[in-house]
């Protein structure tokens, strides 16, 4: 006997920060919307490292839920000084980070949080039965009234919804069925990162450039910090570390449940041999099980589909829609997606029209960020720290980039009387 489908307004695939933020935005934008998030993990575990929320991401969160914005600022961390070092550990630059400048210019400032804290904050803000764990999306069928969604092992059984949102990350299975445009491109860089306890408070963030690698240390709270190290595949191979982004294996799994990759710490240390002790000391002392290793994947701005990245009653958000190099905008753009999608649904209802108008409005903005992140990412891996830090900063500060990131205000999504 065919089971009766679970009947919903919105089915979201993927319970990362993007899927959760979208669920919250939709429930706030349209009163009574029945939303569920289907997540393949069995439960949430304290994974991830840290995230720098930028002005644009904070504005989007404010539009979604002003109380949550307050929580982000109350629990986020700011770093008063950013220092840059070369590959020998010599200080190249020290910059004061004054949040007042950003407040004056944009009415908001950035803040730093642990990735897991961000995911947990969105999860807590939703009704407790919103996320359905252990549900791996498999396929969907669309007809004139809605979408029927199927999951691996038929768990939790078929789901019927007016719209389907793919928030399932870099290697989105929803995108694969919807657009069938293949996996994202390997950007040529491998990244390691971890969150560690701090013995003493860290008063500044440290960037290490030079020798064609990038290292970064930054605090995310009074007692935790994050390190990241990234290097081009050429250097990874030269260090004798085997990494094949095309093998479809565990590394290709990228940011999905990445922690605990065998020997990731050892492999990172091999690649970063000879790097400054102040960086390596922190890396060496990390619990090996906490180290995430993954390739960086992206889709070029030119590859953004001009007619929208969804079809019919299906759309995508976050990394599924526009994976970018990690220059600090991935999660911020994902928050923008959540706020904007909900606004378009508020205007046009749960219709294909709402999804297309959301995508078409997002494409030019996302295109600029994807392009700049690509340039900024490429400019970081220089032989000499001076060249890398100057170029990295130049792209980060270019007017069209910062203005595009920061000037936009998102329309508040107060609970309205509009019903789905
Ligand atoms: C465990 C983890 C840790 C991360 N840590 C960091 C970090 O420290 N710093 C940082 O900047 N970024 C981190 N990221 C990436 C960051 O969240 C994204 O780059 C970006 O913010 C976009 O978020 P997203 O929700 O679109 O995608 P993601 O965060 O990748 O979330 C996608 C979600 O979809 C789920 N999923 C995938 N396929 C299916 C399927 N078939 N069925 C059901 N569910 C599925 C995944 O399990 C995941 O929960 C991490 C991502 C993950 C998954």
CA 256 / ligand 1 centre spacing (Å): 6
Q: pLDDT by residue (tens digit) across 257-266?
A: 455 666 889 9
pLDDT computed for residue 258 by the predictor:
55
Residue 330 Cβ contacting ligand 1 at under 6 Å: yes
Q: Give which of 90, 84, 170 is closest to 380, Cα–Cα.
A: 84
**Which residue has its alpha carbon closest to ligand 1 atom 19?**
330
pLDDT computed for residue 17 by the predictor:
97
Q: pLDDT by residue (tens digit) across 116-126?
A: 999 999 999 99
Query: Could you tell me which residues come within 8 angstroms of residue 419 by beta carbon, excluding any fewer than 6 positions away?
Result: 30, 31, 32
Helices (H) and strands (E) in the chain, counts: 13, 18
Using the predicted structure, report yes or no on whether residue 173 has a pLDDT greater than 80.
yes
Mean pLDDT for the stretch of residues 160-167: 98
Confidence band of 237 (pLDDT split at 50, 70, 90): very high
Residue 16 Cβ contacting ligand 1 at under 6 Å: yes
**Which residue has its alpha carbon closest to ligand 1 atom 26?**
318
**Which residue has its alpha carbon closest to ligand 1 atom 10?**
51
Residue 38 Cβ contacting ligand 1 at under 6 Å: yes
Question: Is the separation of the CB atoms in 228 and 264 below 8 Å?
Answer: no
Query: Could you tell me which residues come within 8 angstroms of residue 375 by beta carbon, excluding any fewer than 6 positions away?
Result: 395
Least confident of 128-132, 293-297, 388-392: 388-392
Residue 316 Cβ contacting ligand 1 at under 6 Å: no
- CA angle, 208 then 108 then 91, to 5°: 20
User: Can you tell me the distance from the alpha carbon of 385 to that of 275, in angstroms, rounded to the nearest whole number?
Assistant: 12
Q: pLDDT by residue (tens digit) across 18-41?
A: 999 999 999 999 999 999 999 999
CA 49 / ligand 1 centre spacing (Å): 12
User: Based on the number of CB atoms within 10 Å of its own CB, is 32 exposed (0-12), middle (13-18) or buried (19 or more)?
Assistant: exposed
CA 234 / ligand 1 centre spacing (Å): 27
Residue 236 Cβ contacting ligand 1 at under 6 Å: no
**Which residue has its alpha carbon closest to ligand 1 atom 27?**
169
Residue 51 Cβ contacting ligand 1 at under 6 Å: yes
pLDDT computed for residue 382 by the predictor:
82
- CA angle, 382 then 388 then 394, to 5°: 140
Q: pLDDT by residue (tens digit) across 270-281?
A: 999 999 999 999
Question: Is the separation of the CB atoms in 318 and 359 below 8 Å?
Answer: no
Predicted TM-score of the model (pTM):
0.95
- CA angle, 119 then 122 then 128, to 5°: 110
Residue position matching structure tokens 């930054």:
218
Q: pLDDT by residue (tens digit) across 192-232?
A: 999 999 877 788 999 999 999 999 999 999 999 999 999 99
For residue 259, the ligand 1 atom closest to its alpha carbon is 1
Residue position matching structure tokens 């089971």:
3
Using the predicted structure, report yes or no on whether residue 355 has a pLDDT greater than 50.
yes
> Which letter does DSSP use for residue 183 in this model?
P
Helix (H/G/I), strand (E/B), else coil: 25: helix
Mean pLDDT for the stretch of residues 376-389: 79
Question: Is the separation of the CB atoms in 266 and 256 below 8 Å?
Answer: no
CA 104 / ligand 1 centre spacing (Å): 33
Mean pLDDT for the stretch of residues 236-255: 68
CA 385 / ligand 1 centre spacing (Å): 31
Record the tokens describing residue 174, joined without a space. Answer: 């929803």
CA 144 / ligand 1 centre spacing (Å): 31
Residue 111 Cβ contacting ligand 1 at under 6 Å: no
Question: Is the separation of the CB atoms in 69 and 285 below 8 Å?
Answer: no
CA 394 / ligand 1 centre spacing (Å): 29
Residue 253 Cβ contacting ligand 1 at under 6 Å: no
Residue 136 Cβ contacting ligand 1 at under 6 Å: yes
CA-derived radius of gyration, the chain: 21
Residue 352 Cβ contacting ligand 1 at under 6 Å: no
For residue 17, the ligand 1 atom closest to its alpha carbon is 25
For residue 20, the ligand 1 atom closest to its alpha carbon is 25
User: Can you tell me the distance from the alpha carbon of 314 to that of 141, in angstroms, rounded to the nearest whole number?
Assistant: 10
Residue 115 Cβ contacting ligand 1 at under 6 Å: yes
Confidence band of 254 (pLDDT split at 50, 70, 90): very low
pLDDT computed for residue 255 by the predictor:
47
User: Can you tell me the distance from the alpha carbon of 355 to that of 167, in angstroms, rounded to the nearest whole number?
Assistant: 14
Count CA within 13 A, CB hemisphere, residue 100.
2
pLDDT computed for residue 248 by the predictor:
44
Share of the chain above pLDDT 70, in %: 92
Q: pLDDT by residue (tens digit) across 43-96?
A: 998 888 999 999 999 999 999 999 999 999 999 999 999 999 999 999 999 999
Handedness of CA 227, 102, 73, 70 (dihedral sign): negative
**Which residue has its alpha carbon closest to ligand 1 atom 8?**
49
Q: pLDDT by residue (tens digit) across 291-348?
A: 888 888 899 999 999 999 999 999 999 999 999 888 889 999 999 999 999 999 999 9
């Amino acid at each position: 006997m065919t089971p009766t489908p679970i009947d919903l307004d919105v089915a979201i695939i993927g319970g990362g920060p993007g899927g959760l933020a979208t669920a919250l935005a939709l429930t706030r934008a349209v009163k009574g919307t029945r939303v569920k998030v289907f997540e393949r993990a069995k439960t949430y575990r304290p994974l991830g490292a840290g995230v720098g929320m930028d002005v644009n991401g904070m504005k989007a969160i404010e539009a979604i839920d002003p109380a949550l914005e307050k929580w982000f600022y109350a629990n986020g961390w700011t770093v008063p000084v950013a220092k840059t070092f070369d590959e020998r550990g010599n200080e190249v630059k020290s910059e004061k980070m004054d949040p007042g400048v950003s407040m004056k210019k944009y009415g908001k400032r950035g803040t730093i949080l642990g990735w897991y804290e961000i995911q947990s904050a969105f999860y807590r803000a939703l009704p407790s039965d919103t996320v359905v764990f252990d549900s791996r999306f498999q396929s969907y069928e669309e007809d004139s009234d809605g979408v029927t969604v199927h999951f691996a092992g038929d768990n939790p059984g078929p789901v019927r919804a007016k719209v389907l949102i793919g928030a399932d990350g870099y290697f989105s299975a929803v995108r694969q069925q919807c657009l069938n445009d293949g996996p994202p491109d390997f950007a040529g860089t491998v990244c390691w990162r971890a969150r560690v306890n701090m013995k003493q408070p860290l008063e500044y963030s440290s960037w290490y450039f030079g020798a064609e690698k990038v290292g970064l240390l930054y605090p995310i709270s009074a007692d935790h910090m994050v390190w990241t190290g990234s290097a081009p595949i050429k250097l990874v191979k030269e260090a004798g570390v085997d990494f094949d982004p095309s093998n479809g294996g565990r590394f290709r799994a990228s940011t999905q449940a990445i922690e605990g990759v065998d020997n990731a710490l050892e492999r990172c240390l091999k690649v970063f041999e000879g790097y400054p002790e102040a960086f390596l000391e922190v890396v060496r002392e990390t619990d090996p099980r906490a180290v995430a290793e993954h390739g960086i994947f992206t889709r070029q701005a030119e590859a953004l589909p001009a007619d929208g990245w969804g079809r019919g009653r299906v759309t995508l958000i976050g990394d599924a829609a526009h994976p970018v190099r990690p220059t600090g905008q991935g999660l911020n753009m994902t928050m923008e997606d959540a706020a904007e999608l909900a606004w378009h649904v508020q205007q046009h209802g749960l219709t294909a029209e709402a999804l297309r108008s959301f995508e078409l409005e997002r494409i030019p903005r996302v295109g600029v960020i994807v392009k700049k992140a690509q340039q900024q990412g490429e400019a970081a891996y220089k032989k000499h720290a001076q060249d890398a830090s100057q170029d990295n900063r130049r792209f980060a500060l270019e007017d069209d980039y910062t203005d595009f990131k920061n000037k936009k205000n998102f329309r508040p999504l107060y609970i309205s009387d509009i019903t789905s």
